[in-house]
Amino acid sequence: MKPIDLEMLGLHESWIEHRVVLFSDTFGRKIRQDPITQLGVPTQYLAMLALQRRDVESAADLARYMRQESDFIFDSMMTLWLQELLDYARTNIGLNKFDTLLRVPKSHIWASFQKVGNDFVDDALEALGQGDSGGFDMGLSHARRVYKTMGDEVVKFVQDILTEVANFEGEDGPIEALRAPYDHIWRKRYEKWESLTGEERLQLSCEGMRAHFGGPSRQGEFRVVDEVLRYRMTFSGCGTGGVLRRGDLETGEGPYATTGVISESKAYSWGKVDIPWYCVHCNLYLEHWPAQDVGINRRPVIYVDDPSSPITTEWLVYKDLADTSEDDYRRIGLTRPVRKGRA
């Protein structure tokens, strides 16, 4: 794999622990349980570090977990979210006329490429079993490129769907299109959010973002800082909307050309304009709708629109949700609820 700037992440290789894929009773499955500041280190990096340290068993665990991370993204993004958005477009802007034409881009292509990525992980594990470290690295690197490219293309596809919905229905249309997936997918995904510890919320958040393969090298790296009351995840840039807005440093592809941007300042656009429709879901799903529904801004988002900054986005994960700041509510046009024991 390509080198990663550990200094940018505030880390040194000698500090990094690699035996971190552990079973969680809370989640009922394995999840990375790293020291806080290394949760933004790509899983492939840890797998190669484990092999360098001659811990073959951990290297294999990390390779399998890398595939698991991507499978979760596939299940939520390519299978559930994309399907619901296309179903909305089918009903509301007339895509039902093209059902046969849409069979491949709706689902078949994504499942096919996910299998290619997963097969590369199997190739890597086979090479590991034969003592071929170069083959292990190559297999994981090929898998990463497949997963990453597939994710990038789905982001563009979602952006185009929401753009066409806005063209047909106006700027309220994409919000309506995004609501059903929130009700059917994100409510379930985050229904236990309030009962998790701050560290568990961070582990879950980092798991998803590693598998979007952001960062300067597009291998999934980002910085995690413990700020006492909360954790800050800093993306330079994030592997979804950040790539859409800024382009792909790995391939040299520029920002995605789109007319689908918000023209009026809204609470769900952090009071900003010219934000791609894709990026709005972060506010709606993690902040605005949860704050309206259950009175909690679950995971505040800092949208960075300064083109001179390498940072595109930051996420804030509070250890105690009651400590979520007034600014985090004001940014989404709401007032922090008064909770028991707090003036």
Q: What per-residue string of b and e applies to 53-66 under the rule 16 or more CB within 10 Å gives b?
A: eebeebbbbbbbbb
The DSSP output letter for 225 is E
Q: What is the percentage of the chain residues whose pLDDT exceeds 90?
A: 92
Which position has the token pair 């605005």?
Answer: 288
- Taking residues 2-23, report their average pLDDT: 97
- Say if 6 falls within a structural domain: no
- Taking residues 286-309, report their average pLDDT: 94
For the cut 80, the answer to whether the pLDDT of residue 341 exceeds it is no
What are the structure tokens assigned to 317, written together? Answer: 């994960």
Helix-strand-coil percent breakdown of the chain, rounded to 5?
Answer: 55, 10, 35
- Say if 101 falls within a structural domain: yes
- Say if 339 falls within a structural domain: no
Which position has the token pair 């592809």?
Answer: 253
H helix or E strand, kind and range, residue 109: helix 109-129
**pLDDT at 204 (0 to 100):** 97
**pLDDT at 189 (0 to 100):** 86
- The domain total for the chain is 1
**pLDDT at 339 (0 to 100):** 66
Average predicted confidence (pLDDT) for the chain: 95
- Its pTM stands at 0.95
Which amino acid makes up residue 339?
Answer: R
- Say if 146 falls within a structural domain: yes
Query: Which candidate, 111, 134, 112, places its Cα nearest to that of 123?
Result: 134
For the cut 60, the answer to whether the pLDDT of residue 88 exceeds it is yes
For the cut 50, the answer to whether the pLDDT of residue 343 exceeds it is no
**pLDDT at 338 (0 to 100):** 76
Sort 153 into a burial class: Cβ within 10 Å, 0-12 / 13-18 / 19+: middle
* pLDDT tens, position by position, 68-80: 999 999 999 999 9
- Taking residues 191-212, report their average pLDDT: 96
- Say if 215 falls within a structural domain: yes
Q: How confident is the model at residue 99 (pLDDT cuts 50, 70, 90)?
A: confident
- Say if 1 falls within a structural domain: no
- Say if 5 falls within a structural domain: no
For the cut 50, the answer to whether the pLDDT of residue 303 exceeds it is yes
Which of 93-102, 201-210, 256-265 comes out lowest in average pLDDT? 93-102
**pLDDT at 107 (0 to 100):** 85
**pLDDT at 340 (0 to 100):** 59
The DSSP output letter for 313 is E
Q: Which residues constitute the domain of residue 239?
A: 13-330
For the cut 70, the answer to whether the pLDDT of residue 158 exceeds it is yes
Three-state SS at 278:
helix
For the cut 60, the answer to whether the pLDDT of residue 342 exceeds it is no
For the cut 90, the answer to whether the pLDDT of residue 106 exceeds it is no
* pLDDT tens, position by position, 222-248: 999 999 999 999 999 999 999 999 999
- Say if 120 falls within a structural domain: yes
